[in-house]
């Protein structure tokens, strides 16, 4: 049997990784540059807990639908225990569809593909308006509702509450003092985070966006985002390190205690859409990158989507061999945000008590960067994503290893 | 290899050698013994046990070999018993409890029902009542002659065939179904003593006038269960049938054939599984809060890792047993790589070489040894040292006295004693404890840089772990040094040779076998401590088939022939 | 002890038709010199009396466990506090010990062997005779599908202190799910189902097994003493299988309290004490129904192993380690962790007693028709003390035993307990144990 140290692994990287163990063993710095890799266990729109920041929770699509009903029906469906009947009635009245495609979802939680012809056939068969609806539920369903086609349900654009607190996660992206800017948690002014203004008062952001909740949650389990720091001469202070991002082709592994497992070997997905590279520096154990455009895979339960952030900066505390924790600050593209909402479908909207039309309208309204040269409309919104991760080993297919060396 | 591999060839061979298969050979000991009493000198030596209960692994492999791997064996087996560190040696000490008998009967019924069911009937039974055989008597006779040979690992006597047919037909009449009758008879046969127990049948030794030995069928079983951990195959049964197994040349032919096939690896694997007590890994659990990385898949994977490493190095590559303690090569997979904190690319098992700076060297630093001989929530130099002495060196470490005085606390959070070594040292100030702990702790402490789950840790409570130690007056500074000390310690090779003998014999060592052990070890050394020559040496020694302990005066000699380069 | 050929009796019973109905009870009657077997088996002619043991590991802290007042309404020291709700059903036997008489005290082994066999030895493989539960099963275990049921909550079939001989341990059923399947699975016969037709398959199975075994026995020649003992044991065990098959051909006696339980969730075995208590409770409830449904009359339950395998999740020091390593708290005067585990073990025992008394049977409860002995393998585990090993009894054995009293043994051999249990259950024995452990004094205090 042929032995191998690390099959398909970039040897230089492998040596660096192993040197981490060596360094820990003797407690002294190794002479050669090292690499540290992490799998991020949750990336989320971070919400600062401020009781007074929201006048009320934003209305959900079913709240809005209920309001639109005549008084008698409003009475009948208004009770909390009638919410399922209300959802059903809303689907019937508004012509929502959720039909099987006959496909099975793709490998490792990915979306099965449907051709345009297949989609048209489904529209015809189930009386879905021409050109409407999307492939959803990882390709197993075809859906038409207020999330897939928010513009068809304008009455649901109302009821979104703006986040009015003074404090928000984020950094000063534009180096300008605007009246919309927030103050950071550590009292720095100029924080650009219009995304939180738009979505900060929805139930799900309030609930799942607070770090103490979010840090216990694992998302994109089947394809977590991988972060690799290489060329690290000293893990606490180094002015020149390289940061690379990938999607994982292997699922995150869990420990016996149900937590993310450290030191698993995860395969790097060769999909170049999810690769990005940037220079950065480490100061007192904190990583700061230059701005760069990145795309993260978001593959969670029924969704196989992505997050796209332009001119993103990563700031994160690094504890080599233990953890990474920090934020991605930049301009989240509307296209990727809207794709998330589309894919969540009415099912997701009902479960998380949101109104896709209202949220999409709000995000478009507060978008503050990258205007479309033709329409002049902004295509991205300032944002703060936070994350946490565990140390892992990256296994790179040969072409990736070569490709990212450049 | 699957299905009922009983050809008419073997049956023909059987009928041709009926003369060889005297009643005495097929029945047991006594009837033949009366006709041909053992010599006075032999009679003075104690008899060796004649029954060895099949282990669960042997039972399963046997059923798969006889009926094919698609026959499911489901049920709980009676627990095996460890004697002198080996489950194999316990097989000649255990019998069957009522609960066990019930379970075996149930397992047997499950097997019999599958063998005879519509899906397997044509292939495994191959006949049915017909116009010329309206009751199915001929069919039953044919079936039980064929299958009985494999189940009893010897041909059925005429009486047994008659009984099987009569009982099948009677049961068939009661349940009004011929195949139902077959199931019931087959169940009884699979619950029968000669199936559940490897049985040594005594005959006059053709090569030693006046001497006694075990018959060819018993030899075939003994060989195959040792070398393959399963039942004899067709060729081996044929060698029993034609009597060639009773000659040294015929024996060697079969031994070399058995050892040349891939199944020999299974035999070696089974030995080391037993020798290293790795079945303990299957019930091993670790505290999920203290050792989160030790997932439920880790323990079985660690067992597999050790066995794969051993069979690769010792069988595939014909390596030196001692090198197991110094090698940096180890089988790896992705279940285990997190515990080793190494990147691992392949999706499946493969051999890797750990880098030079890795603290792990040799068998003792594999997760299996480290985790098995630890507590659920912390490491134990004492347990590891004890296992090292008892398992790998065949020494005996006394159990602690009843009035243990553990006044020194092993509180892992006590700031006065931050490492295990400090805590143990304080404990060892007690002279009574120290006398035993000095047998175990000096080498156990060297391994304390690996925690209770087998993960490397350079420090404990912030203090670097001192890994210096000593084994039989050989000092070392780390686990690599400990591995080297084991590599060079003759007790280690003596222990594996002696254990292989006890494993093969399925019983404890007899006092008068000591010279034989010396000879085994000498030849093992001569062969560069390779496992194949050791196993071969064991099975071609006349004592392997002996019915009594060797005379104390016996000068251990080399087997008469068959030494291979 | 006289060996009576039960199989021969059954065969005749089968052939003789009418004799089947009287079957085994009378067989036991004949076996019994004292005539107590009849009473024990029939419980005054109506409800059967059952016997069981309940084991927990690592003993207790004597000052925190031993009651100070004798007789009824004894005081409950802190570690015994959990039994308060069932105190009237539980008798405490304190101060009985294993007298080693020059034999070694093998930690966590000698005490248990001494208690169970009346003769201490270094290893279970060397025991002089069967454990007393096996003798009792020999006397009353017939007439049910299982002669005895061994249970261990630790998930390990090898955790059992029921031995027929040194090499024959009765393995344990080790999880609630497995217990459910063993009792209420495919082979379960509802004792109260209307109508009864013997299954021809069972008839044929028994007949063929018997014929093949007879032939095997006939064919075996003379064997060495050890081989012979093992082969005899094999045949005895096969005969048990035949007996069981024969029993399935008889109409089962009516069991009024029998309700087939629903299949339990499959709880994984755990050493965490809370999880252990949960699994144990579930197994105890299933066992109560198995007994009420006349599937067995004898059982052995292991709550925690000798060297108690219990832990508190997240704590690096397990119960057994703590017994040796935990320092006596200066202010409290005892080992607090050990004290907590010991108290938790008593909670397990209280749960068990509650489960048995929750089943109504006749005018009382299932427990009233039972006698259960709870014991550990040491008293103060810190130094493996085999003096004053804690023992408790629960149940009234069909009215033959008083309950709710404390007897202080004052160093008497603990074989008095084993002797008394056997006598109460109709084992014809007037003295039990060897050397200093030999006794003919039963515990008259508990007899009605």
pLDDT attached to residue A4: 43
The answer to whether residues A173 and A221 belong to one domain is yes
Place C106 in a pLDDT band, splitting at 50, 70 and 90: confident
Smallest Cβ–Cβ distance between C204 and the set B78, B81, B174 belongs to B174
Could you give the number of structural domains in chain B? 2
Residue at token pair 């035949």:
C242
Q: Which of B199, B233, B265 is the last residue of a domain?
A: B199
Task: Among A149-158, B206-215, B370-379, C317-326, name the one with the lowest average pLDDT.
Answer: C317-326
Q: Would A5 be classed as within a structural domain?
A: no
Same domain, A186 and A251: yes
- Same domain, yes or no: A111 and A167: no
Model's pTM, two decimal places? 0.78
Compute how many other C-beta atoms are within 10 angstroms of the C-beta atom of residue A41.
Answer: 25
Let me know: does B227 contact B202? Beta carbons within 8 Å. Answer: no
Measured between CB atoms, does B161 come within 8 Å of chain C? no
In chain B, what residues touch C178 (CB-CB under 8 Å)? 76
User: Which residues have C-beta within 8 Å of that of residue A36, sequence separation ≥ 6?
Assistant: A20, A228, A229, A232, A235, A318, A320, A321, A391
B377 touches chain C (CB under 8 A): yes
Instruction: State the smallest CA–CA distance between residue B525 and chain C in angstroms.
Output: 35
Check whether residue A117 and residue A239 sit in a common domain.
no
pLDDT score at B437: 82
B contact residues 397-426, partner C, Cβ 8 Å cutoff: 399-407, 409-412
The reply to whether A232 falls in a domain is: yes
How distant is the Cα of B311 from the closest Cα of chain C, in angstroms?
A: 29
Please state the domain count of chain A: 2
Helix ranges (H only) for C149-199 are 176-184
The pLDDT of residue B9 is: 55
| A59 is a domain residue | no
Q: In the structure, what pLDDT confidence band is assigned to residue B404 with cuts at 50, 70 and 90? A: low
Q: By residue range, what is the domain housing residue A127?
A: 97-144
Segment C348-366 mean pLDDT: 94
Q: Partners of C168 in the beta sheet?
A: C165
Residues B289 and B144 in one domain: no
C103 close contact with B: CB closer than 8 A = no
Give residue C37's pLDDT. Answer: 31
Q: For tokens 């000593």, what's the residue? A: B470
Q: What percent of chain C is modeled with pLDDT above 70?
A: 88
**Is the domain of A137 the same as that of A176?**
no
C-alpha distances in Å from residue A204, one per residue of A385, B420, C44, C270: 15, 48, 69, 37
Answer whether CATH 3.40.50.1820 is correct for domain C25-192+266-446.
Answer: no
Cβ–Cβ below 8 Å for B81 and C125: yes
Q: Do B343 and A256 touch (CB under 8 A)?
A: no
Instruction: Report angle CA B109, B110, B113 to the nearest 5 degrees.
Output: 80
| B481 and B358, same domain (yes or no) | yes
pLDDT at B94 exceeding the cut of 50: yes
Measure CA of the first residue to CA of the last residue in chain B; give whole Å: 31
C68-90 pLDDT, tens digit per residue, is 998 999 999 999 999 999 999 99
Do A41 and A219 touch, CB atoms closer than 8 A? yes
Sign of CA dihedral B419, B425, B427, B432: positive
Report ipTM (2 d.p.): 0.85
What is residue C332's predicted lDDT score, i.e. its pLDDT?
87
Q: Which chains pack against C, by 3+ Cβ pairs within 8 A?
A: B
**Residue A390: both structure tokens together:** 């565990």
Considering only CB atoms, B458 lies closest to which of A25, A256, A259, namely: A25
Closest residue of chain B to C187, computed from CA coordinates: B106
Regarding whether A294 and A189 lie in a shared domain, the answer is yes
Quick check: B353 and A5 CB within 8 A? yes
- The residues facing B351 across adjacent strands are B331
Same domain, B194 and B284: no
Give the up-direction half-sphere exposure of residue B250: CA atoms within 13 A in the CB hemisphere: 17
What is the C-alpha to C-alpha distance for residues B285 and B276, in angstroms, rounded to an integer?
18
Q: For chain A (length 406 residues), average pLDDT per consecutive 10? A: 40 35 36 89 92 92 95 90 87 95 84 95 95 93 96 96 96 93 95 97 85 80 93 93 96 81 95 97 97 94 92 95 95 97 92 92 97 97 97 84 40
| B288 close contact with A: CB closer than 8 A | yes
Residues B307 and B166 in one domain: no
Kindly state whether residues B349 and B477 are assigned to the same domain.
Answer: yes
pLDDT the model gives residue A172:
97
A116 with A170, same domain? no
Contact residues, C window 314-343, toward B, CB-based 8 Å cutoff: 314-318, 321, 324-327
CA distance A326 to C277: 42
Residues A128 and A201 in one domain: no
The pLDDT mean for chain C works out to 84
Q: How far is the CA of A22 from the CAs of A26, A282, B258, in angstroms?
A: 7, 21, 46
Domain ranges of chain C: 25-192+266-446, 197-250
Given this model, what pLDDT does residue B403 score? 61
Residue B213 CB-density burial (10 A; 0-12 exposed, 13-18 middle, 19+ buried): buried
Mean pLDDT of B424-451: 82
Sheet-wide strand order for A97-100? A97-100, A141-144, A134-136
Which chain C residue's Cα is nearest to B23? C219
Identify the CA nearest to B406 among candidates B424, B385, B380, B387: B424
Query: Where does B320-405 have alpha helices with state H?
Result: 337-340, 367-372, 381-387, 393
Burial label, A266 (beta-carbon count in 10 A; 0-12, 13-18, 19+): buried
The answer to whether residue C211 neighbours chain B at the CB level (below 8 Å) is yes
Residue C247 has pLDDT above 60, yes or no: yes
Measured distance CA(B343)–CA(A226) in Å, rounded: 14
Selecting from C107, C244, C316 the residue whose C-beta is nearest the C-beta of B377 gives C316
- B329: pLDDT strictly greater than 80: yes
C68 C-beta neighbours (distance < 10 Å), count: 11
CB contact under 8 A, B167 and C208: yes
Tell me which residue range forms the domain holding B293: 279-487
Cα distances (angstroms) measured from residue C146 to each of A190, A343, B210, B360, C137: 79, 59, 50, 51, 10
Q: Over pLDDT 90: what percentage of chain C?
A: 52
Task: Determine the pLDDT at residue B10.
Answer: 57
- Mean pLDDT, residues C328-335: 82
Same domain, A139 and A178: no
> Which residue reads 């039942």 in tokens?
B231
Looking at the predicted structure, is the pLDDT value of residue B267 above 90? yes
Burial class (CB in 10 A: 0-12, 13-18, 19+), B91: buried
Tell me, yes or no, whether B189 and B283 share the same domain: no
**Domain termination site, one of B442, B458, B487:** B487
User: What band does C193 get if pLDDT is binned at 50, 70 and 90?
Assistant: confident
Same domain, residue pair A40 and A136: no
By the CB < 8 Å criterion, does B194 face chain C? Answer: yes
CB count within 10 Å of CB A295 equals 22
The CA distance from A62 to the nearest CA of chain B, in Å, is 43
Residues B284 and B192 in one domain: no
Burial class (CB in 10 A: 0-12, 13-18, 19+), B250: middle
* Residue B565 resides in a domain: no
CA atoms of C448 and C396, how far apart (whole Å): 9
For the cut 80, the answer to whether the pLDDT of residue C4 exceeds it is: no
- Distance (Å, rounded) from C-alpha C47 to C-alpha C40? 9
Chain centroid offset of residue A143 CA: 22
Inside any domain, residue A90? no
pLDDT at residue B374, rounded to an integer: 95
Compute the distance between CA of residue A51 and CA of residue A206 in angstroms, rounded to an integer. Answer: 10
Residue B82, chain A, CB below 8 Å: the answer is: no
Residues of A in contact with B294 (CB under 8 A): 256
Q: Which pLDDT band, with edges at 50, 70 and 90, does B554 fall under?
A: very low
CB crowding C47-61: b at 16 or more within 10 Å, else e: bbbbbbbbbbbbbbb
Does the beta-carbon distance from C200 to B29 stay under 8 Å? no
Q: Is residue A70 part of a domain?
A: no
Question: Is residue B205 within 8 Å of B126, Cβ to Cβ?
Answer: no
Which of B146, B157, B150 has its CA nearest to residue B237?
B150
Which among B138, B169, B199 is the end of a domain? B199
Provide the pLDDT for residue C222: 80
* CB nearest C316 (choices: B191, B378, B403): B378
Residues of chain A positioned with their CB less than 8 A from the CB of B355: 5, 18
Question: Mutation test of the interface with chain A: which of B299, B334, B337, B345, choosing the one with the most A Cβ atoms within 10 A?
Answer: B345
Q: pLDDT for C19-72, tens place per residue?
A: 222 222 222 222 223 323 333 333 333 578 999 999 999 999 999 999 999 899
CB contact under 8 A, B316 and A3: no
Q: Identify the DSSP state of A113.
A: P
Q: How far apart are CA B531 and CA B311, in angstroms?
A: 10
DSSP C58: S
Residue C119 pLDDT greater than 90, yes or no: yes
């Amino acid at each position: 049997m042929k032995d191998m140290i690390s099959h398909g692994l970039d040897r230089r990287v492998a040596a660096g990784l192993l040197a981490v163990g060596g360094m820990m063993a003797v407690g002294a710095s190794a002479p050669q540059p090292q690499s540290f890799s992490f799998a991020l266990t949750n990336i989320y729109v971070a919400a600062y807990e401020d009781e007074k920041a929201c006048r009320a929770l934003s209305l959900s699509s079913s709240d809005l639908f209920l309001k639109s009903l005549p008084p008698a029906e409003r009475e009948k469906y208004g009770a909390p225990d009638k919410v399922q009947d209300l959802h059903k009635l809303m689907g019937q009245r508004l012509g929502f569809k959720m039909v099987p495609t006959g496909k099975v979802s793709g490998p490792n939680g990915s979306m099965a593909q449907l051709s345009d012809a297949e989609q048209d056939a489904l529209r015809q068969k189930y009386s879905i308006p021409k050109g409407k609806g999307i492939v959803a539920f990882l390709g197993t369903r075809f859906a038409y509702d207020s999330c897939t086609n928010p513009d068809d349900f304008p009455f649901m654009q109302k009821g979104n509450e703006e986040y009015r607190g003074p404090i928000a996660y984020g950094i000063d992206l534009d180096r300008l003092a605007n009246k919309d800017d927030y103050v950071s948690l550590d009292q720095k002014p100029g924080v650009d985070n219009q995304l939180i203004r738009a979505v900060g008062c929805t139930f799900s952001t309030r609930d799942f966006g607070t770090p103490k909740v979010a840090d216990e949650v694992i998302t994109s389990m089947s394809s977590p985002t991988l972060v690799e720091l290489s060329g690290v001469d000293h893990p606490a202070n180094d002015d020149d390190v390289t940061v690379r991002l990938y999607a994982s082709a292997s699922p995150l592994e869990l420990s016996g205690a149900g937590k993310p497992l450290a030191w698993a070997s995860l395969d790097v997905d060769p999909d170049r859409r999810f690769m990005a590279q940037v220079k950065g520096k480490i100061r007192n154990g904190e990583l700061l990158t230059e701005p760069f455009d990145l795309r993260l895979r978001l593959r969670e339960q029924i969704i196989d989507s992505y997050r796209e952030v332009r001119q993103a900066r990563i700031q994160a505390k690094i504890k080599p061999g233990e953890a990474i924790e920090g934020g991605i600050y930049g301009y989240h593209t509307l296209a990727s945000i809207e794709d998330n909402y589309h894919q969540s479908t009415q099912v997701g909207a009902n479960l998380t008590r949101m109104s896709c039309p209202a949220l999409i309208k709000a995000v478009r309204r507060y978008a503050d960067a990258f205007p479309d040269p033709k329409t002049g409309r902004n295509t991205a919104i300032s944002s703060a994503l936070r994350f946490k991760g565990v140390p892992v080993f990256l296994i790179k297919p040969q072409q990736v290893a070569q490709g990212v060396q450049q | 290899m699957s299905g009922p591999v009983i050809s008419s060839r073997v049956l023909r061979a059987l009928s041709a050698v009926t003369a060889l298969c005297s009643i005495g050979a097929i029945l047991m000991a006594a009837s033949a013994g009366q006709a041909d009493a053992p010599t006075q000198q032999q009679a003075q030596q104690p008899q060796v046990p004649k029954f060895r209960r099949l282990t669960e692994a042997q039972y399963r492999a046997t059923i798969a070999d006889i009926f094919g791997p698609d026959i499911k064996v489901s049920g709980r087996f009676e627990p095996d018993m460890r004697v002198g560190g080996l489950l194999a040696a316990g097989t000649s000490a255990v019998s069957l409890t009522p609960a066990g008998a019930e379970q075996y009967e149930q397992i047997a019924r499950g097997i019999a029902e599958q063998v005879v069911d519509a899906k397997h009937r044509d292939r495994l039974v191959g006949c049915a009542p017909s116009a010329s055989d309206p009751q199915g008597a001929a069919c039953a006779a044919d079936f039980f002659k064929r299958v009985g040979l494999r189940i009893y690992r010897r041909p059925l006597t005429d009486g047994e065939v008659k009984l099987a047919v009569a009982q099948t037909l009677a049961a068939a009449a009661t349940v009004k179904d011929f195949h139902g009758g077959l199931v019931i008879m087959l169940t009884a046969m699979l619950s029968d003593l000669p199936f559940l127990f490897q049985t040594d049948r005594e005959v006059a030794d053709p090569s030693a006038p006046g001497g006694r030995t075990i018959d060819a069928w018993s030899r075939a079983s003994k060989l195959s269960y040792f070398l393959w951990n399963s039942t004899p195959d067709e060729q081996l049964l044929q060698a029993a049938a034609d009597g060639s197994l009773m000659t040294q040349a015929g024996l060697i032919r079969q031994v070399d054939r058995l050892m040349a096939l891939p199944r020999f690896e299974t035999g070696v694997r089974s030995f080391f599984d037993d020798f290293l007590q790795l079945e303990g890994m299957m019930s091993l659990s670790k505290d999920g809060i203290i050792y989160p990385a030790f997932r439920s898949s880790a323990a079985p994977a660690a067992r597999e890792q050790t066995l794969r490493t051993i069979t690769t190095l010792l069988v595939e590559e014909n390596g030196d047993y001692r090198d197991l303690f110094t090698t940096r090569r180890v089988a790896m997979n992705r279940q285990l790589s997190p515990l080793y904190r190494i990147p691992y690319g392949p999706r499946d098992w493969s051999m890797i070489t750990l880098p030079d700076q890795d603290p792990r060297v040799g068998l003792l630093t594999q997760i299996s040894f480290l985790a098995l001989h630890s507590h659920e929530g912390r490491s134990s130099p004492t347990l590891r040292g004890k296992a090292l002495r008892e398992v790998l060196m065949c020494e005996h470490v006394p159990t602690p006295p009843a009035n243990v005085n553990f006044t020194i606390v092993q509180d892992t959070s006590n700031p006065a004693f931050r490492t295990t070594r400090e805590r143990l040292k304080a404990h060892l100030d007690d002279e009574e404890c120290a006398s035993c702990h000095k047998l175990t702790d000096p080498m156990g402490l060297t391994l304390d840089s690996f925690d209770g789950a087998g993960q490397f840790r350079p420090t404990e409570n912030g203090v670097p772990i001192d890994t210096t130690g000593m084994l039989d007056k050989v000092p070392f500074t780390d686990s690599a040094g400990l591995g080297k000390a084991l590599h060079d310690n003759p007790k280690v090779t003596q222990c594996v040779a002696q254990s292989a003998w006890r494993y093969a014999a399925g019983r404890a060592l007899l006092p008068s076998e000591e010279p034989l052990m010396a000879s085994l070890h000498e030849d093992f050394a001569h062969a560069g401590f390779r496992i194949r020559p050791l196993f071969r040496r064991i099975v071609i020694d006349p004592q392997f088939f002996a019915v009594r302990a060797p005379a104390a005066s016996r000068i251990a000699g080399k087997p008469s022939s068959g030494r291979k380069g | 002890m006289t060996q009576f050929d039960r199989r021969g009796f059954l065969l005749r019973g089968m052939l003789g038709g009418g004799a089947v109905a009287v079957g085994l009870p009378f067989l036991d009657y004949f076996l019994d010199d004292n005539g107590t077997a009849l009473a024990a088996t029939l419980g005054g002619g109506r409800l059967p009396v059952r016997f069981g043991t309940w084991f927990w590991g690592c003993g207790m802290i004597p000052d925190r466990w031993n009651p100070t007042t004798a007789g009824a309404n004894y005081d409950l020291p802190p570690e015994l506090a959990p039994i308060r709700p069932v105190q009237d059903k539980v008798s405490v036997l304190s101060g009985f010990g294993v007298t080693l008489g020059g034999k070694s005290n093998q930690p966590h082994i000698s005490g248990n062997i001494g208690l169970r066999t009346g003769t201490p030895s270094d290893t279970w493989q060397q025991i002089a005779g069967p454990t007393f539960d096996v003798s009792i099963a020999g006397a009353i275990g017939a007439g049910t599908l299982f002669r005895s049921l061994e249970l261990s909550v630790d998930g390990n079939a090898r955790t059992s202190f029921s031995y027929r001989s040194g090499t024959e341990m009765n393995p344990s059923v080790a999880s609630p799910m497995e217990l459910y399947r063993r009792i209420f699975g495919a082979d379960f016969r509802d004792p109260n189902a209307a109508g009864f037709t013997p299954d021809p398959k069972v008839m044929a199975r028994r007949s063929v097994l018997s014929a093949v075994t007879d032939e095997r026995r006939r064919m075996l020649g003379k064997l060495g003493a050890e081989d012979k003992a093992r082969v005899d044991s094999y045949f005895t065990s096969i005969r048990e299988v035949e007996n069981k098959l024969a029993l399935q051909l008889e109409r089962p006696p009516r069991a009024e309290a029998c309700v087939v339980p629903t299949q339990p969730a499959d709880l994984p075995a755990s050493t965490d004490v809370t999880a252990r208590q949960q699994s144990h409770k579930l197994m105890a409830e299933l066992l109560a129904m198995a007994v009420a449904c006349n599937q067995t009359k004898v059982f052995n339950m292991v709550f925690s192993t000798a060297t108690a395998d219990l832990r508190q999740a997240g704590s690096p020091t397990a119960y057994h380690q703590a017994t040796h390593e935990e320092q006596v708290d200066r202010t409290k005067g005892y080992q607090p962790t050990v004290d907590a585990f010991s108290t938790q073990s008593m909670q397990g025992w209280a749960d068990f007693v509650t489960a048995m008394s929750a089943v109504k049977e006749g005018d009382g409860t299932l427990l009233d028709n039972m006698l259960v002995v709870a014991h550990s393998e040491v008293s103060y585990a810190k130094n493996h003390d085999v003096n004053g090993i804690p023992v408790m009894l629960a149940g009234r054995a069909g009215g033959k035993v008083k309950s709710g009293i404390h007897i202080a043994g004052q160093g008497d051999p603990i074989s008095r307990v084993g002797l008394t249990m056997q006598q109460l259950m109709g084992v014809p024995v007037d003295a039990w144990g060897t050397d200093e452990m030999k006794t003919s004094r039963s515990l008259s205090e508990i007899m009605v």
